[in-house]
């Protein structure tokens, strides 16, 4: 039996977005630490891939006022991993303030994971609803 996997993304599209990776910090003095902007634990890409999370946390510019939990699709990541990566905007950072739709940060498990070239590149963001 052939199982079709739909990797397409449909919705409002923003091209040429600089994607960078960030990771939870156990340092209480570090902005954000282990939690997103509403106090929920950050959800990492690696935990999603290991089927430990329902989604991956994405941080964006808070000035955009994107509703918490908005679903985002990144076609390049879907292609790279061979299945749809469920991503939700649930965080922000002072580093993102004023960047608009030109930048987004995806949460990864560790500093080592943050160096993955596939997570630090120019991508397309597709919003299911904004």
Instruction: Identify whether the C-beta of residue 60 lies closer than 8 Å to the C-beta of residue 92.
Output: yes
Does residue 15 lie within any of the structural domains?
no
Instruction: Note the Cα 20 to chain centre separation in Å.
Output: 9
Is 11 contained in some domain?
no
Domain that holds residue 26: 20-127
Encode burial over 3-18: b for 16+ CB neighbours within 10 A, e otherwise.
eeeebebeeeebeebe
Q: Which helix (H) or strand (E) holds 117?
A: none
- Residue written as token pair 């061979």: 82
| Sign of the CA dihedral with 105 first, then 128, 47, and 78 last | negative
Q: Model confidence at 7, in pLDDT bands (50, 70, 90)?
A: confident
CATH of the domain at 121: 2.40.40
- What pLDDT is attached to residue 1? 42
What is the per-residue pLDDT across 14-47, written as a single tens digit (0 to 9) for each? 999 999 999 998 765 555 679 999 999 999 999 9
Query: Residue 113: inside a domain, yes or no?
Result: yes
pLDDT tens, position by position, 44-93: 999 999 999 999 999 999 999 999 999 999 999 999 999 899 999 999 99
The answer as to whether 95 is a domain residue is yes
- What would the two tokens of residue 89 be? 């905007």
Query: With 50 as the cut, is the pLDDT of residue 3 above it?
Result: no
> What is the number of domains present in the chain?
1
């Amino acid at each position: 039996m052939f199982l079709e996997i739909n990797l397409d993304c449909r919705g409002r599209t923003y091209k040429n977005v600089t994607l960078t990776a960030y990771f939870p910090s156990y340092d209480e003095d570090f902005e954000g630490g282990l939690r997103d902007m509403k106090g929920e634990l950050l959800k990492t890409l690696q935990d999603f891939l290991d089927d430990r999370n329902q989604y991956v946390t994405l941080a964006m510019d808070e000035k955009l006022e994107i509703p918490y939990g908005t679903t985002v699709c990144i076609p390049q990541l879907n292609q790279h991993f061979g299945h749809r990566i469920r991503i939700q905007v649930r965080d922000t950072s002072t580093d993102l303030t004023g960047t608009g739709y030109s930048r987004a940060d995806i949460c990864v498990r560790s500093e080592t994971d943050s160096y993955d070239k596939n997570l630090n590149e120019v991508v397309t963001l597709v919003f299911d609803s904004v």
